[in-house]
């Protein structure tokens, strides 16, 4: 039953993505009540999928590629629903809605079920560690989406191409402020998640596994997010440069993750 609930949520997110795309193509500012209904209904169905999964397997969908992608998609969808409450930021859904639907569709294709792998780090601390880390990644995705829209609109204004981008996108100041807050939230959450995981490892395994692929990737993600945050608040960098660092850092970490998953067979990421 949880698969059906996830599939309904994916279909609703996809429908919202199409609606966003049509509004953008028409150069019409903002969104409609239909988009809100699709997103909020999708979130409810998605949450039902999480509850059914937990009831069926006795654990939250946090471990394994399929379950964790589905959970990450829920956080992105919640961010999308939250931004929908602010008219000036709703247009960021042009990127977030497809991101949520893509993550959930990939999860469904991979299979949303437990891996059967045994982890020493389990129980409430595992749930807290992974959940907070996912909030960090979702926050960074929101920041990167806002930064990308900032760069696209900046370029359009610079070349005086006042078309659909100018009509549909939020103002540059709104995108910059959203990116800033999402970066701060993402960095804070990811730092807390990594700290909990490392504290547990040091306490019960007498040291960090520096050769573990997920540790290497976690450090890389944290450093890239730190650099994006530094660029945002550094007086030596313009707002445009900070947005570029944000998008580039997110892209590098995403590519590094894909390379690790494809080339390191024993890499057991939560994602």
79-87 mean pLDDT: 88
The C-alpha atoms of residue 109 and residue 106 are separated, in whole angstroms, by 5
Is 70 exceeded by the pLDDT of residue 15? Answer: yes
The pLDDT assigned to 190 comes to 92
More confident residue, 65 or 139: 139
How high is the mean pLDDT of the chain? Answer: 85
Work out the number of other CB atoms within 10 angstroms of the CB of residue 248.
16
Tens digit of each residue's pLDDT (9 = 90 or more) over 52-63: 999 998 888 988
Is 90 exceeded by the pLDDT of residue 127? Answer: no
The pLDDT assigned to 142 comes to 96
Is 70 exceeded by the pLDDT of residue 265? Answer: no
The pLDDT assigned to 47 comes to 97
The pLDDT assigned to 13 comes to 97
Overall pTM > 0.75: yes
Q: Where are the domains of the chain?
A: 1-114, 123-271
Tell me the H-state helices in 1-123. Answer: 2-25, 33-57, 65-83, 93-110
Tens digit of each residue's pLDDT (9 = 90 or more) over 134-185: 999 999 999 999 999 999 999 888 877 777 787 788 889 999 999 999 999 9
Is 60 exceeded by the pLDDT of residue 218? Answer: yes
CA 6 to chain centre: 17
142-151, 184-193, 194-203: least confidently modelled range: 194-203
Greatest mean pLDDT range, 95-104, 113-122, 260-269? 95-104
Q: Which residues of 36-73 are buried (b: 16+ CB within 10 A; e: fewer)?
A: bebbbbbbebbebbbebbeeeeeebbbbbbbbbbbbbb
Is 80 exceeded by the pLDDT of residue 41? Answer: yes
The C-alpha atoms of residue 177 and residue 214 are separated, in whole angstroms, by 31
The C-alpha atoms of residue 170 and residue 143 are separated, in whole angstroms, by 14
Q: Report DSSP state, residue 171.
A: P
The pLDDT assigned to 197 comes to 79
105-118 mean pLDDT: 84
Is 90 exceeded by the pLDDT of residue 115? Answer: no
User: Residues of the chain with pLDDT > 70: what percent?
Assistant: 87
More confident residue, 123 or 101: 101
Split at pLDDT 50, 70, 90, the class of 64 is confident
């Amino acid at each position: 039953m949880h698969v059906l609930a996830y599939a309904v949520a994916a279909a609703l997110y996809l429908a919202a993505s199409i609606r966003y795309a049509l509004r953008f193509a028409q150069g019409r500012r903002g969104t409609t009540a239909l988009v809100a209904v699709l997103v909020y209904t999708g979130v409810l169905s998605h949450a039902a999928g999480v509850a059914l999964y937990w009831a069926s397997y006795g654990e939250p969908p946090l471990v394994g590629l399929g379950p964790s992608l589905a959970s990450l998609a829920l956080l992105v969808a919640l961010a999308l629903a939250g931004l929908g409450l602010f008219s000036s930021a709703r247009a960021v859904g042009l990127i977030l809605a497809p991101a949520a639907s893509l993550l959930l569709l990939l999860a469904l294709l991979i299979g949303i079920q437990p891996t059967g792998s045994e982890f020493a780090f389990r129980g409430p601390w595992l749930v807290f560690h992974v959940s907070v880390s996912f909030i960090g990644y979702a926050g960074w995705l929101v920041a990167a989406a806002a930064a990308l829209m900032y760069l696209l609109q900046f370029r359009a204004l610079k070349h005086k191409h006042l078309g659909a981008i100018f009509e549909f996108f939020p103002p540059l100041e709104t995108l910059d402020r959203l990116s800033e807050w999402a970066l701060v939230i993402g960095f804070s959450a990811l730092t807390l998640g990594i700290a909990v995981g490392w504290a547990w490892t040091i306490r019960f395994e007498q040291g960090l596994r520096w050769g573990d692929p997920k540790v290497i990737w976690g450090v890389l993600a944290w450093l890239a997010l730190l650099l994006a945050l530094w660029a945002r608040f550094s007086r030596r960098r313009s707002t445009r440069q900070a947005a570029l660092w944000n998008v580039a850092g997110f892209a590098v970490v995403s590519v590094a993750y894909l390379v690790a998953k494809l080339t390191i067979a024993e890499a057991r990421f939560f994602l």
